[in-house]
Amino acid sequence: MDAEAARRPVTDQEIYEKIWDAIAERQIGPGTRLKEEQLSDIFSVSRARVRQVLQNLARDGLITLVPNRGAFVAKPSIEEARDVFFARRTIEERLVERLCSTIGAEGIERLRRHVDDERKAHSGGEVATAIRLSGAFHLLIADLAQSQILAGLLRDLISRTSLIMAMYQQKDVLSCGPDEHAAIVDSITARDAKKALAVMHHHLAHIENQLDLESERVVARDLEDILGL
């Protein structure tokens, strides 16, 4: 948490965001148990507040609440993984198509700056930052397209994608990196909707093809191990 947050009581939204970020950046893997008492100590809040945050995370599909056992980071099935990428293609192709006719110079500059940040993170070996920026690129597209509905749906799908990649990404397979994002920005800048659709489709297919969606893997780690408590 930042210095400002450390000087004041943490909000439920901040707790939610902190856990969401850890899941999205794959610091907390699928199957990890989220213990109320540990989270209560970490954030210096009551277990009742932690319980409410966990319920919100469960509502958004990031965790599973198991009666008499507790909360666990969700473990998406192979079919769920395929559904997530189908939904992402449908939503994100719509977003880039819209941007080709609505984006202005400021929006293009924001996209290019973001890709530059991704390149720096990759070249600097900052894995967690690169993962966060990769997801944020897609959310930036939704923001620039000014669709609150699609942005909300996409945010959930991107967090689920992180869970899927944590479970199913093949070993020794490199992420797509910022080059494909740069190609998306180029097609949007050229206002070439047909190419933008094709490039986005290829990009998401590339991510999906990096996954081993033939066999289930169980990844389970205890929160205490992750946090080093």
Domain containing residue 10: CATH number:
1.10.10.10
CB 63 within 8 A of CB 52: no
- Within a domain: 98: yes
At residue 62, the pLDDT reads: 85
Structure confidence at residue 168 as a pLDDT band (50, 70, 90): confident
pLDDT at 226 over 60: no
- Within a domain: 115: yes
**Domain match, 127 and 16 both:** no
pLDDT at 208 over 80: yes
pLDDT at 148 over 80: yes
**Domain match, 119 and 196 both:** yes
At residue 68, the pLDDT reads: 87
Mean pLDDT of 47-63: 91
**Domain match, 160 and 91 both:** yes
Residue 225 CA to residue 229 CA, distance in Å, equals: 7
Type of residue numbered 195: K
**Least confident span in 152-156, 176-180, 181-185:** 176-180
pLDDT at 218 over 60: no
Mean pLDDT of 28-56: 92
- Closest C-alpha to 85, from 199, 25, 161, 195: 161
pLDDT tens digits, residue range 112-146? Answer: 999 999 999 989 988 778 878 888 999 999 999 99
pLDDT tens digits, residue range 6-39? Answer: 567 889 999 998 888 787 777 788 888 999 999 9
- Closest C-alpha to 203, from 121, 99, 97, 93: 93
**Least confident span in 35-39, 53-57, 168-172, 203-207:** 168-172
Within 8 A by CB and 6+ apart from 157, the residues are: 84, 87, 88, 91
**Domain match, 46 and 135 both:** no
Number of domains in the chain: 2
**Domain match, 59 and 110 both:** no
- Within a domain: 229: no
At residue 175, the pLDDT reads: 58
- Within a domain: 214: no
Last residue of a domain, one of 18, 40, 75: 75
Tokens of 72: 């666990």
What's the whole-number average pLDDT of the chain? 85
Domain limits for position 42: 3-75
pLDDT at 222 over 80: no
**Domain match, 123 and 15 both:** no
**Least confident span in 45-49, 132-136, 201-205:** 132-136
**Domain match, 20 and 107 both:** no
**Domain match, 124 and 42 both:** no
- Within a domain: 223: no
Last residue of a domain, one of 46, 75, 104: 75
Pairing of strands 33-34, 63-66: unpaired
Sheet bearing 63-66, strands edge to edge:
33-34, 70-73, 63-66
